[in-house]
Structure 1
Amino acid sequence: MAVIRQLPDRLINQIAAGEVVERPASALKELVENALDAGAQQISITLRRGGIDEITVIDDGSGMTPDDMALAIERHATSKLPDDSLDHIHSLGFRGEALPSIGAVSRLSLTSITAGFDHAWRLVVDGGIVSGPEPAALAKGSMISVTQLFKVFPARLKFLKTERTEQGQCADIVRRLGMAWPEVGFHLTADDRLLLDLPACLPGQSGLQARIGTIMGQGFAADAVVLDAVRDDIRLTGLVGLPTMNRPTTANIFLFVNGRPIHDRALLGAIRAGYGDTLPRGRHPMAVLFLEVPTSAVDVNVHPAKAEVRFKDAAAVRSLLVGGLMARLRDGSINASSAGGTAAIGKFSTAPDRVSENDFAPAGNTLSSGAQRSYLAPPSRQKMAFAHAFYRPDQLPLRGLLGDDAAPAARMASDSEAEQHNDQRHHLLGAAKAQLHKTYIIAETEDGLTIIDQHAAHERLVMERMKTALAESGVASQNLLLPEVVTLADHHAAAVIEAADMLETIGLVIEGFGAGAVVVRAVPALLGTPDVKQLVADIAEELVELCGSTSLEDRINHVLATVSCHGSVRAGRPLNASEMNALLRDMEITPRSGQCNHGRPTWVKLSLADIERLFGRS
């Protein structure tokens, strides 16, 4: 029978290291957090082979005395719990296990100087064996160097990823801490190559926005919506990207609690819920969010690496996240990301390397090939005059810009309509001037133009009206003169019949009609005269795909998105100037109209400066 015994300290430290130090990024996180807790204003980090061979962190913080250094490498020794209470933690690190754990599995060199000492001191922990402290040279703060990580655990090295992957994890740690501490400068080099240079920013919103722009891109910082919401003692601030700024993973969602970077699945779900039905399925937003919670209402001691926290009132935190995001996105929901306009400019400015002579030759041209080549040469004033004399304006083609059929597909507003709606140029989306290919509306604004997808825009308008009606008194139904029988696959029919009560709340009255069939007796009045069979087929497919895995509200929203798609203005329908302007004015007052029900943008903007650059006028 095994005898219970007390483990030696060295083995205890190695076991703790297995929890605290999973990879080089784990050790780096602990060292940088210690520097921040020491009041550092500048932190310089050096990596070798992704942190496997070396991690060196130099800061200008308050430093340590030789006695403090000796205590710092002991387990459960810390300066960060002055009142011996876990209810009021105001620092990032506090467990008192980081340095002894790192020293147990590597060679750790700690050099530090504090006020009142003539020189610095160095202490070394090599695989758990301590030597020093001894005099050393350092002007200010501390320098901690970790080399030969996992030297006493060679097997652990086999579980590490490639050097590039480990380096990327370390860089991600620095980026996250850089967002939370914009007033601190960070400098990261790897194998003598600069990876990150984040100068210290001014305190306040402007400094935070500058730091986030440096890390996530100026496009995000410029287009993101500023969030500031308070509920009871909890405050939520940060920058949230427009729904059209979405990504395939959650890698661009950064969440901080009291300045501590965390990764919490429940809170990520709350952020996704805050965007509601404005995101495409399987896509995730870009956001940088800061939660400020009373220290007594949050437990940061539930995860060895402090990557997760536990809230005293988790429901209140989730409610603030969801409600705050919904309200702020509703206020700024007509906005469009500048990325759409930038992409459009890129498409326009991409010209073919060689222009065919036929592209500029009018029908029935009798010029010789030599004359054609002369005309296509760089134009002189004489040649330009000749061109104007030879070509009538109505013969000039639009190939390459709008396609061969562009001219008949562009419906221009009349002069009287243009004058009548000239004052509408002052609106955000401007005054409608043309409809291209019976699908896209071109509108003139005071400082450029906007391009609107009429189907995507009206789809969102219909859905928001249905949601409003559902919340107030229910969606009105319109009885069909002759009930429509729809044949479906057995499992599709079963899904529709099971959801019959829910569908009736949105104005769609459906009953079972034998095996694999349903009968539709009424449709939502907002839809007019939709294709009933296709509508029911699409709803059935949506219900089967949802498969009961989402809440009732989510299921209703998904079905509403499908229903509203059938009731919106279709691409290919001609619109006159009044109809186009009415659509634009409705968009400007409708929540979330900046994106359709599937998360795609409904409009893009081109500034006058962008247009002038296309023609070399700026």
Structure 2
Amino acid sequence: MSKIQLLDSRLANQIAAGEVVERPASVLKELLENALDAGARQITVDVEQGGTKLIRVRDDGSGIERDELPLALSRHATSKIHVAEDLEAIGTLGFRGEALAAISSVSRLSLTSNTGEQAEGWEVVVEGRDMAPSVTPAGHPRGTTVTMRDLFFNTPARRRFLRTEKTEFNHLEEVFRRIALSEFQTGFRLSHNQKVVHQLPSGDNEALRAARVARLCGSAFMEQSMPVDVSHAGLRLHGWLGLPTFSRSQADLQYFYVNGRVIRDKVVSHAVRQAYSDVLYHGRQPAFVLFLELDPALVDVNVHPTKHEVRFREQRMVHDFLYRTLHRAIAEVRPADRLDVQASPQTMPSWSAPTQGAMPLTQPRDSGADVSGTGYQGGGAAPAYRPPPSVADGDRQASAYGSLVTPRPEAVPMPVPEPGQTPPLGYAVAQIHGIFIIAENEHGMVLVDMHAAHERITYERLKRDWAEEKVRGQPLLVPVSMAVSSREADFAEQQPEVFQRLGFGVERAGPETLMVREVPVLLRNADSETLVRDVLSDLLAHGSSERIEQHLDALLSSMACHGSVRANRKLTIPEMNALLRDMEATERSGQCNHGRPTWTQMSVKDLDRLFMRGQ
């Protein structure tokens, strides 16, 4: 081996640049963060050839003193921290002091700045093998301009790994989008090859914030999202939460910020995934733009070279706050809210927790089950119609929705709607193919998948009853005998309390025989034998009582699916209307347990367009 020796400054900086500068987008990220830390209120970005030829960032921030310009391009030189204690509560986006030195070692970099207290600005560049800084006078208004040219001109190996101009610009534009969403009080402008791509005015009022999000994330996202603003125990979560109906095939519209810094964190991802657990179709991804604010001392941003990851001091508290906030916000979306959004995209009310009362921050089940008694109240507008309150628990199945379980033979005429009193989902008109319900409301026609809707209603009731330990059973007039395996019979005999709490009465009648004497009230019209077999199969798969508790939502969902009205079941008009009323009052009624939509709206304009009326 050769002798140990110190690396020269340029080589050391080029090695360090490997952690900071991956592609042109990495350069833009560092420069934009520096501009925001300088207090800029207007930032202009000019890019050529996807950022490989030129990236110029100009801001109107505080600027840099002449004597400090050479230090700005030196390694480990920064004005943002001074002592080790500063690392415990970092309030700026950048703090390491490596970015400009790393960028200057793999490109031709110049920095021009003026603090506004001097008649002229000053420009600094680094030259030669030792990267010696050279400072010269230059005309410049208050602020700073950083110009980077010919990225990786002196490191051909890195340049060969760059992609096409279009690909590199797409990455660069995504970085611009993330930064622009983090600071609404700053105006941004991006141009590529002398063509303006984004022009975002500054402003922190609600209309301008919504306009910027719509410009960067698409108007469809704003039309299918709800504002969220919740504070508790020093934590604040605000932003926009995409409705489950606006899911995507990829996680390409997920922006989460911690104290203004865009991050991708496992704790955050897990909390969001739990909140959407039973309202998204298989493999679909939610969309959101959310901002979490907390004491900087409670989060460590110095855990990754690119600062994309953070570590929370109280991970459990942050996880539970995010989960419960998003879980309840999604649950509070009712058909009336969705119809208001379709009629006017900006009318979705902001959801927030009540200002009084505490929200317990306990760990939820991994299954993401509904949580009762959190002190939350929906901030959305209440539907114009509310179903009558249920009667005593023992007769709960005979409430407004009981007609679906026990059909009433008498024909009840369809109620005549009063002006301004039509329920959100309207009144049923007909049933087609034994599957869909057609209803008429003030906006036009509503089409409902009756099985999917009933499945969600039954599922939510089972979850509520389980939480209240009130899953009541109903004895069967004629007990059902089932032939099972000896393993299944042993399990039913060893854990009868699990079946009892689920509302089943199951006894062992032989080595390979079970006798079903009782089924849950809500599912009393289901095929008892098939229902018990599927529940027994799920219980065997989960094993112990602890694992059953963890996978309870999946079990209750399976039970609800078997207990819901099936296709080709003929419903009367009163039964259809009872279903519509329960959908209006049920949480997450827009999706079934598997994430499929339960209803859709077609306005009169949509129908006119379909038949070319007025054209």
RMSD over aligned CA atoms reads 3.6
The number of residue pairs the alignment matches comes to 544
Residue number in structure 2 paired with 1:76: 76
Structure 1 position 472, deviation (Å): 0.6
Measured at CA, do residues 104 and 276 of structure 1 come closer, stay the same or move farther in structure 2, by a change above 3 Å? same
The reply on whether 1:439 has 2:435 as its aligned counterpart is yes
* AA partner of residue 197 (structure 1): Q
* In 1, Cα distance between equivalents of 2:492 and 2:48: 60
Residue number in structure 2 paired with 1:254: 255
Q: Is the 8 A contact 2:469 2:501 kept in 1?
A: no
CA deviation digits over 1:288-321, x for unaligned, max 9? Answer: 1110011111111111111111112111111110
Residue number in structure 2 paired with 1:183: 185
* In 2, Cα distance between equivalents of 1:53 and 1:517: 78
Residue number in structure 2 paired with 1:583: 579
Residue number in structure 2 paired with 1:168: 170
* In 2, Cα distance between equivalents of 1:497 and 1:505: 15
Q: Is the 8 A contact 2:336 2:424 kept in 1?
A: no
Residue number in structure 2 paired with 1:350: none
Q: Is the 8 A contact 1:219 1:338 kept in 2?
A: no
The structure carrying a bigger helix percent of its residues is 1
Q: Is the 8 A contact 1:105 1:128 kept in 2?
A: no
Q: Is the 8 A contact 1:16 1:101 kept in 2?
A: yes
% same residue: 41
> Equivalences for 1:163-562 in 2 at 5 Å?
163-200=165-202, 202-334=203-335, 417-420=413-416, 426-478=422-474, 481-485=478-482, 505-508=501-504, 522-532=518-528, 534-535=530-531, 555-562=551-558
* AA partner of residue 451 (structure 1): L
Q: Is the 8 A contact 1:510 1:522 kept in 2?
A: yes
Structure 1 position 517, deviation (Å): 9.6
Structure 1 position 67, deviation (Å): 2.0
CA deviation digits over 1:565-600, x for unaligned, max 9? Answer: 111122322222211111111111111112111112
* In 1, Cα distance between equivalents of 2:168 and 2:234: 38
Measured at CA, do residues 422 and 517 of structure 1 come closer, stay the same or move farther in structure 2, by a change above 3 Å? farther
* In 2, Cα distance between equivalents of 1:186 and 1:482: 72
Structure 1 position 514, deviation (Å): 11
Measured at CA, do residues 516 and 125 of structure 1 come closer, stay the same or move farther in structure 2, by a change above 3 Å? farther
* In 2, Cα distance between equivalents of 1:16 and 1:514: 73
Residue number in structure 2 paired with 1:50: 50
In the alignment, which of 135, 138, 161 is matched to residue 137 of structure 2? 135
Q: Is the 8 A contact 1:277 1:597 kept in 2?
A: yes
Residue number in structure 1 paired with 2:27: 27
Q: Is the 8 A contact 2:480 2:529 kept in 1?
A: no
CA deviation digits over 1:136-180, x for unaligned, max 9? Answer: 343442221222222333222344444333222211111111111
Residue number in structure 2 paired with 1:390: none
Structure 1 position 102, deviation (Å): 0.9
Which SS does the other structure have where 2:551 is aligned?
helix
* In 1, Cα distance between equivalents of 2:342 and 2:42: 38
User: Which 5+ residue runs of structure 1 have no aligned equivalent?
Assistant: 343-413
Q: Is the 8 A contact 2:46 2:192 kept in 1?
A: yes
| Larger-Rg structure | 1
Residue number in structure 2 paired with 1:61: 61
* In 1, Cα distance between equivalents of 2:412 and 2:111: 80
Measured at CA, do residues 335 and 279 of structure 1 come closer, stay the same or move farther in structure 2, by a change above 3 Å? farther
CA deviation digits over 1:93-132, x for unaligned, max 9? Answer: 1111110011112221212222123333222235862442
The reply on whether 1:595 has 2:591 as its aligned counterpart is yes
Structure 1 position 523, deviation (Å): 3.7
In the alignment, which of 152, 155, 158 is matched to residue 157 of structure 2? 155
In the alignment, which of 558, 564, 578 is matched to residue 560 of structure 2? 564
Structure 1 position 505, deviation (Å): 3.7
Moved more, 66-75 or 189-198: 189-198
* AA partner of residue 575 (structure 2): E
Moved more, 52-61 or 585-594: 52-61
Measured at CA, do residues 551 and 310 of structure 1 come closer, stay the same or move farther in structure 2, by a change above 3 Å? farther
CA deviation digits over 1:512-546, x for unaligned, max 9? Answer: 99999987665433112323565466668878999
Structure 1 position 77, deviation (Å): 1.3
User: Which 5+ residue runs of structure 2 have no aligned equivalent?
Assistant: 344-409
Q: Is the 8 A contact 1:122 1:136 kept in 2?
A: yes
Measured at CA, do residues 2 and 586 of structure 1 come closer, stay the same or move farther in structure 2, by a change above 3 Å? same
* In 1, Cα distance between equivalents of 2:217 and 2:609: 26
Q: Is the 8 A contact 1:486 1:533 kept in 2?
A: no
Which SS does the other structure have where 2:44 is aligned?
strand
TM-score, normalisation: structure 1: 0.78
Measured at CA, do residues 134 and 268 of structure 1 come closer, stay the same or move farther in structure 2, by a change above 3 Å? same
Q: Is the 8 A contact 2:71 2:77 kept in 1?
A: yes
* In 1, Cα distance between equivalents of 2:560 and 2:122: 71
Q: Is the 8 A contact 1:336 1:604 kept in 2?
A: no
Structure 1 position 80, deviation (Å): 1.7
Structure 1 position 424, deviation (Å): 8.8
